[in-house]
Chains A and B, each alone.
Chain A
Amino acid sequence: MKTNNVILRTVIKIVVFIILTLAVYLFFSGHDSPGGGFIGGLVLASAFVLLFIVEDIATIKKGIPVDFKRVAALGAFIAVATGFGAIIFGEPFLTQTFGHFNLPIFGETHLTTVTIFEAGVALTVVGVVVSIILSISRDV
């Protein structure tokens, strides 16, 4: 953006962190209430898109040096791989499991394999949305 948007820039610096926190919250709450990988990923992607709008693309790319197409592929890979994980344990494809563990800081925690699957979904969504926005922005 060519105009010098001081107010927008200042606000975004804080807002991006709020959005990122919300994304993580939505991601984890998805296990048994509204939210999940898809929505968490969309919110996460919106934070990136905001950054791309406020700063120029080159600056952000220097700050986040990842190829978002690869992020999408990695996410899809994680999601499919959890399906294959079930096959290795001799269960039907895509079977998910969970358990309660005593972790040092968190205390007793409910851990599920579906969270790994959801992480894959979230990464895919982030990768795809940002790739789309970036390739549209190139045309204009």
Chain B
Amino acid sequence: MNNILVLPLALPVLVGILLIFFRSNIPLQRWVSFAVMVVNLGLSIYLLHEIHTEGILRLDFGGWKPPFGISFVADSFSVLLVMTTSIVTAICLLFAFSSMDRSHEKMFFYSFVNLLVAGVNGSFLTGDLFNLYVCFEVMLLASYVLLALGGRKVQLKEAIKYVVINVVSSWLFIVGIAYLYGMVGTLNLAQLSQRIAESGQPPLITVISIVFLTVFALKAGLLLYFWLPGSYAAPPIAIAALFGALLTKVGIYAMFRMFTLVFYHQPVFTHTIIGVLAGLTLIGGSIGAVAYRDIRQIVVYNVIISVGFILIGLAVATPEAMEGSIYYLIHDMIVKALLFLLAGVMITLTKTARMDQISGLIRNYPLLGWMFFIVMLSMAGIPPFSGFIGKVLVGQGAIESGSYLLLALAFGSSILVLYSLLRVFLSCFWGETIIDEEEMITAKKGWLIPCAILTITTIGLGLGAESIATYVSEAANTLLNPDKYIDAVLND
């Protein structure tokens, strides 16, 4: 028993509810929400350390032992993601302080950000399939509100699409859960894994696994990303950055969890499909990233490329590739938030999202330009930035298992990422400046400081990868040895 495990979920829920009563006191709302994220960050670092010394942690809600009760299970993989979520959300909140309209802030913006984070953290930490569904729903409900908040026409249009897609995929999710419960008779992830291992994953269960794959592919934007470009480009910058950094990652996490812990007996079938999907996602995302001239669309398609890239690690499933995926997942959450924020600042400053109408920004805003340059290098995987180690490890895994096609796609897409962003950089930051000294809007400190912190984080994560290396290899180790997880949950 370790009650700290539930706090990354329970604290944001509690604060999210309490802030409803302090609707008009915006400074309080801001700093309390920020404080929650900082506390969560501290808790997750503490938990990482605990897991390192004591092994996987578990909390049984209400004292009901698994498999009968609901439990939270924290292994290094989940806690690393909780940690990154806290960092990214805290910084997005900092950005929101100076960029959100007051009317947005009054309409429970901070409450819903807290609830969104609660859902995300809950999904990472839960040890129960049905609870995973519930946490997904908490997260999605909050994201529906955040997407539609403000009620501009484009937001409402995209919100309808987003809600419909997610309701359908949630329905599929619950159908999958029902099938699985009917077949195996349990929803505790560890016991599911145990029972499926006993039966050797018969074909029917493999079919059910495909239902889950479809669900998570919809949520993560793996090939089924048709809904994503619109809905991530519509909301205000801070919210879009949160979405880009967090939402698809939860789908990816669920896919990793399910296909390493539960459905791992037929890799020739399931993991091959994941590989094919990941490859197609890389191709589709790359085409999108190169094709558009709208900065927002380019940024959004970069989210899709990274989804494909991370899932190559799962498809290959060697220890190196897993580690690489985890590094890349952490890197991607930070870098995507940064990219969305930078793109948002550019659009706010120039009042257009068309990259051919912007030029010479670096004269007016040198810091912004250099940060964009760094994020570009980081995303392309150039050392010493954080994308490098993930790319190398995933590549190494792909070579070891002989998946040369995936390897080619992965690194081909990296070049296209570089190309698509370099195009933005050259067009927007170089050349004749379009903004006169008189007309120049000063970039607020509140916009640049969060971006700077994220930039420092991506450099720090690249140079200091050693500091999280033990935790990442532990996480990869747990993912590849389901017995560890099962032992911690059932045989303790």
Contacts and interface: CB of A to CB of B under 8 A. Distances in A.
B18 interface: yes
A123 B407 CA distance: 55
A73 interface: yes
Interface in A107-137: none
A93 B59 CA distance: 8
B20 A70 contact: yes
B35 interface: no
A93 B122 CA distance: 14
Contact of A93 (B10, B17, B20, B21): B10
Contacts of A87: 3, 6
Contact of B10 (A69, A70, A77, A84): A84
A80 B61 contact: no
A115 to B, nearest CB: 15
B420 to A, nearest CB: 43
A77 B62 contact: no
B25 to A, nearest CB: 15
Contacts, number: 41
B320 interface: no
Given A69-B20, A92-B1, A83 B10 contact: yes
Nearest to B70: A94
Nearest to B111: A73
Q: Which of A81, A87, A92 has the most CB of B within 10 A?
A: A92
A80 B59 contact: no
Nearest to A86: B62
B291 interface: no
B60 interface: yes
Nearest to A83: B10
B147 to A, nearest CB: 18
Contacts of B59: 92-93
Contacts of B18: 77
Given A70-B21, A87-B3, A94 B61 contact: yes
B14 A73 contact: no
Interface string A78-104: 001101101100011111100000000
A26 interface: no
A76 interface: yes
B17 A92 contact: no
Interface string B218-245: 0000000000000000000000000000
Contact of B14 (A80, A92, A94): A80
A24 B60 CA distance: 31
B321 interface: no
B13 interface: yes
Given A70-B21, A73-B21, A93 B3 contact: yes
A15 to B, nearest CB: 32
B63 interface: yes
A77 B17 contact: yes
Given A92-B3, A93-B3, A77 B14 contact: yes
A38 to B, nearest CB: 15
Given A80-B10, A83-B10, A84-B10, A91 B17 contact: no
B14 A96 contact: no
A77 B13 CA distance: 9
B10 A92 contact: no
Contacts of B1: 92
A93 B21 CA distance: 24
A84 B63 contact: no
B20 A73 contact: yes
Contacts of A81: 14
A80 B62 contact: no
Most buried by A among B3, B14, B21, B59: B3
A83 B61 CA distance: 9
A94 B21 contact: no
A100 to B, nearest CB: 20
A76 B108 CA distance: 15
A96 B69 CA distance: 13
A93 B14 contact: no
B62 A96 contact: yes
A77 B20 CA distance: 10
Contacts of A70: 20-21
A84 B14 contact: yes
A43 B6 CA distance: 32
A91 B63 contact: yes
Interface string B60-74: 111100000000000
Given A77-B14, A87-B3, A92 B60 contact: yes
10 contacts: A77-B18, A83-B6, A84-B10, A84-B14, A87-B3, A87-B6, A92-B59, A92-B61, A92-B63, A93-B3
Interface of B: 1, 3, 6, 10, 13-14, 17-18, 20-21, 59-63
Given A80-B17, A83-B10, 6 more contacts: A76-B17, A80-B14, A92-B60, A93-B10, A93-B61, A96-B62
8 closest cross-chain pairs (CB), A and B: A73-B20, A93-B6, A94-B62, A94-B61, A77-B17, A76-B17, A87-B3, A95-B62
